[in-house]
Amino acid sequence: MANVVEKVQEFIEDFITDTLSDAAQSSLVRAGNTITGIVDVMSDSITKTPQTWNNELFTKMKAISDSAIMPIAIAIMSIIICYDLITAVMDKNNFKDFDFGIFLRFGIKGWVAIYFMNNVFTICGAFFEIGSSIAKTALDTLFDTTAMDLTALESPAFKLTLKSLSIGDLGLACILSLLVYIISIAVMVIVMVVTAGRMIEVLIYFSAAPIPFATMTNREWSNVGFSFLKNILALALQAFFIVVVLAIYVILFTTKVTGIDSITGLKSLSGVLLQWICYSVVCCFMLLKTGSISKSICGTH
């Protein structure tokens, strides 16, 4: 009778051990696959310009800008140019030192202002072409073209390490592994939110672009236009910072993955899993800060 009880107890323990070890290993493998998926999602969207990201939405924003914003911008530009002409004429000591070069400068300013207004979307698009090129170069440099190597997580040595733990320790490892998987999903969600939010912000900037461009030729008002260009540049460079943050996260994750099959005991395993959790939380936080970092570097604050 005692042997039967022992065998039943041993069977139950083996069953629980196998179940928990399989669950822990499966969670970590899925976390690794999710992180690989993050790179794929980022690569698909971060290197696109607003026009290639969603051409239909871009076309509609441009149509809204042309029909609703452009007339206001033209009115502002006309007022600014006329104000410049009147000020230049009146500053010449009540016409005693009248200079016909004023009209030449007026003509040049008018031509430049009209050129800006006719090429608003082209100029803004050029910034994002540069940003996309920088992001693509960073992706090719920082990320390998192959998928993340998860051999260590799937190795028999790691499975034996998990099975060598007690049921209580294995349960804790299973919970930590599940947290790693859940937070890796959170990282992917935040990447999608940040990249989509960036593009929506870009389209909003594009739709209102004619107004700040209308101020470019005036000395007193040109800071509005140049501040707008700084913000456009910051949004273009944000793609690069997103790539850098994710590259750091993936490299840190990969470094720990390659050494996980040499882990012995709960203490070292828990340390690695807690580091992964910390890396993931920090990555989420830094992804949300990429916009403010880019604006700070471009001097828009």
Assign 163 a pLDDT band (cuts: 50, 70, 90).
Answer: low
pLDDT of residue 53: 77
Lowest mean pLDDT among 167-171, 232-236, 270-274: 167-171
pLDDT of residue 250: 81
pLDDT of residue 152: 63
Assign 279 a pLDDT band (cuts: 50, 70, 90).
Answer: confident
How much is the average pLDDT of 192-218? 83
Tokens of 106: 């007026």
Tell me the whole-structure pTM to 2 decimals: 0.79
How far does Cα 219 stand from its chain's mean position?
A: 35
In the numeric block, the tokens 């990429």 are attached to: 290
Mean of the per-residue pLDDT values for the chain? 75
Query: If we measure between CA atoms, which residue out of 150, 182, 160 comes closest to residue 269?
Result: 160
Query: If we measure between CA atoms, which residue out of 279, 135, 137 comes closest to residue 198?
Result: 135
Query: If we measure between CA atoms, which residue out of 90, 71, 4 comes closest to residue 210?
Result: 71
Q: Is the pLDDT of residue 267 over 70?
A: no
How much is the average pLDDT of 41-45? 73
Tokens of 32: 């690794």
The C-alpha atoms of residue 116 and residue 112 are separated, in whole angstroms, by 6
From residue 135, how far is each of 35, 43, 126, 127, 267 by CA, in Å?
Answer: 19, 9, 14, 12, 39
> What per-residue string of b and e applies to 170-194 under the rule 16 or more CB within 10 Å gives b?
bebbbebbbbbbebbeebbebbeeb
**Single-letter amino acid code for the residue at 129:** E
Higher pLDDT, 212 or 162: 212
Contacts of 264 (CB under 8 A, 6+ apart): 161
pLDDT of residue 158: 67
pLDDT of residue 61: 81
From residue 270, how far is each of 169, 191, 262, 286 by CA, in Å?
Answer: 9, 26, 13, 24
